[in-house]
Chain A
Amino acid sequence: MSEDVRQTVFSIIAKEAGIDEGKVTLDSTLKDLEIPSLDAIQIIFEIEDHFKIQMPDRDPNFDTESVKGLVETVEKLLADKAANPPAPDNATPPAPPAA
């Protein structure tokens, strides 16, 4: 598991859910962390934006999935992306100018 990815996912969860990053562990579920579904959607959105990936549309186990599962999904998508870089025409859009 990449320490960078883990660290980033932890910090996104903590920021979006407004909880102390120290509370987030690999084994905790979103439910354990008392993260409501609306915050969960925002967490996924921020993760997608940060890593320029697209998470699976909806996981039926959204509420029970562990943070570890989330980190592993991100790593898998990053590995897929590295193995199949998008064609130049479909390059990820440029990052918006810094606000």
Chain B
Amino acid sequence: MNRRVVITGVGAICALGHDARAVWQGMREGRSAIAPLAGFESQDMRVKVAAQVRDFDPAAHFDSKKLILLDRVSQFALVAAREAVAQSGLDFAQGNLSQRSACVVGTGTGGEVTNDECSKRLYGEGNPRLHPLSIVRRMMSAPASQVSIEFGITGPSFAVSSACASANHAFAQASALVRAGVADVALAGGTEACLTLGVLRAWEAMRVLADDTCRPFCKQRRGLVLGEGAGMIVLEDFDHARARGADILAEFAGAGMSADAGDIVMPSDVGAARAMTAALRDAQLAPADIDYINAHGTATPANDPTETRAIHMALGDHAAKVAVSSTKSVHGHALGAAGALEIVAAIGALRDGVIPPTANFIDPDPECDLDYVPNAAREAPVRAVLSNAFAFGGLNAVVALKRAS
């Protein structure tokens, strides 16, 4: 079976806002939500800036009985999932939809807030008594479980983890389930709540964080800026969506995955290009069909030239014509949620015919010679999009979306 897969709902939360509309609006405007790191004032942090989710009141979303079960990473996933499901108009209690639905959620770090609380109690306070719900909050699969419980999804449900490519790998798995007829609907996405003292300190030690802001592909770039949040989409069999008259946001045309099998941190242009080529092949798209690439674009010294070379390898002559931007310049790098936030940009570009810019751009880097749509959005017809995610450890996943037809 090889069914067409479409997107009928999208939800998101990140530093740009608490729903997909606000997130897309911020991306279009190139309005950077990167700000001085808050909440760690008592620490002498080398991390100066981050893209934190602000003004988020969990109690406004969950009652106390539910909230006690949820790490911040699951809270984000649920907020985004509720929005996506509401937009899709699906009712999982209808017919056998519950059993015919899947749930796949990517996360890179899992329940780090809970992990941090446990460590603080155990080592900082010398208190061996940890909260009895610590395990169910922090397990990597907690967001997937919580989303399946929330909507009564009883088909295949699991977590996917591949660091910064987790969300795109989750989309690839979920779409494969729908395409193959294992499920008619799949709720898929990525979530991350990684801005804890322990995680921040570990990133500091790697010396890849910018101290000013995130400037992808630009000569003055100084590294990545960490972010957090979640994005979820409803993937649906095309015939299923059409039969119920659903509003189709975009077609999920295909996905490509590869592993560099090389260095644990240094990215490989060949590995990245293989994932992009695989996505094009899977989506039955030619390079010339692609009007926009939402780049991985972390703004590290290593990623941006490597990704630029990979785009040349995968797209050939068309690389010089395609618009490429990194929205990490406005929402930071949300690790396992990165691809899930960036699919909001892909869907927005296809629907509105607007390419979101690479914000904070000053001067071009001679090693990065593509059209990065610096600082200002561009109106252009967008027929198909690639969205890249390349993780530490060389795990690559690229998704291809087409305009709904």
User: Are the CB atoms of A45 and B205 closer together than 8 Å?
Assistant: yes
Residues of A within 8 A of B301 (CB): 60, 62
Q: Which residue of B lies closest to A55 (CB)?
A: B207
Say whether chain B's binding surface is mostly helix, strand, loop, or mixed. loop
Interface stretch of the complex, out of B66-74, B181-189, B258-266, B377-385: B258-266
Contacting residues, chain B, for A62 (C-beta < 8 A): 301
Give the residue of A37, A45, A57, A60 whose beta carbon is less than 8 angstroms from that of B46. Answer: A57
- The interface size of chain A toward B, counting residues with CB under 8 Å, comes to 11
A36 cross-chain contacts in B, Cβ below 8 A? 263, 266
Contact of A58 among B222, B263, B265 (CB under 8 A): B222
Cα distance A41–B300 in the bound complex, in angstroms: 15
Chain A contacts with B in 2-33, Cβ cutoff 8 A = none
Taking CB atoms, residues of chain A closer than 8 Å to B206 are 41
B211 close to A38 (CB less than 8 A): no
Q: Looking at the complex, which one of A37, A44, A54, A57 makes contact with B211 (CB distance below 8 Å)? A: A57
Which parts of A30-58 form the interface with B (CB within 8 Å)? 36-38, 41, 44-45, 54, 57-58
Whether A38 lies near B265 (C-beta < 8 A) is: yes
Give the complex CA separation of A48 and B330 in angstroms. Answer: 33
Q: A44-B207, A57-B46, A57-B207 known; A37 and B265 CB under 8 Å?
A: yes
For A44, give the chain B residue with the smallest CB separation.
B207
Contact: A41 with B207, CB < 8 Å? yes
State which size class the interface on B falls in. Answer: 10 to 19
8 Å CB contact of A38 from B209, B222, B223, B264: B264
B208 within 8 A of A: yes
Taken together as a complex, chains A and B put the C-alpha atoms of A38 and B46 apart, in Å, by 19
User: With a CB–CB cut-off of 8 A, which chain A residues contact B266?
Assistant: 36-37
Looking across the interface, which residue of chain B has its beta carbon closest to that of A58?
A: B207
Nearest neighbor of B204 in chain A, beta-carbon distance: A57
Contacts of B263 in A (CB 8 A): 36, 38
- State how many angstroms separate the Cβ of A81 from the closest Cβ of chain B: 15
Report whether A58 and B205 are in contact in the complex, using a CB–CB cutoff of 8 Å: no
Please, how many angstroms separate the alpha-carbon atoms of A38 and B266 in the complex?
Answer: 9
A13 to chain B, nearest CB (A): 17
Please give, as numbers and ranges, the residues of chain A lying within 8 Å of B211 by CB-CB distance. 57
Which of A37, A45, A58 sits near B223, CB closer than 8 Å?
A58
One digit per residue, 1 when the CB lies within 8 angstroms of any chain A CB and 0 when it does not, for chain B 235-255 equals: 000000000000000000000
Q: Which residue of A lies closest to B208 (CB)?
A: A58
- Residue of A44, A45, A60, A62 with highest tally of chain B CB at under 10 A: A60
A44 CA to B208 CA, complexed, in Å: 13
Nearest CB on A from B351, distance (A): 38
Q: Which B residues are CB-close (under 8 A) to A60? A: 222, 301
Hey, which chain B residues are within 8 Å of A57, CB to CB?
A: 46, 207, 209, 211
Q: Shortest distance in angstroms between A38's beta carbon and chain B's nearest beta carbon?
A: 6
How close is A43's CB to chain B, nearest CB, in angstroms? 11
- Return A74 CB to nearest CB of chain B, in Å: 16
A45 to B211, CA, bound (A): 19
What are 24 contact pairs spanning A and B, CB under 8 A? A36-B263, A36-B266, A37-B265, A37-B302, A38-B263, A38-B264, A38-B265, A41-B205, A41-B206, A41-B207, A44-B207, A45-B205, A54-B46, A57-B46, A57-B207, A57-B209, A57-B211, A58-B207, A58-B208, A58-B222, A58-B223, A60-B222, A60-B301, A62-B301
Binding site for B on A (CB under 8 A): 36-38, 41, 44-45, 54, 57-58, 60, 62
Sample of 7 further A-B pairs with CB below 8 A, known A37-B302, A38-B265, A58-B207:
A37-B266, A38-B264, A57-B46, A57-B207, A58-B208, A58-B222, A58-B223
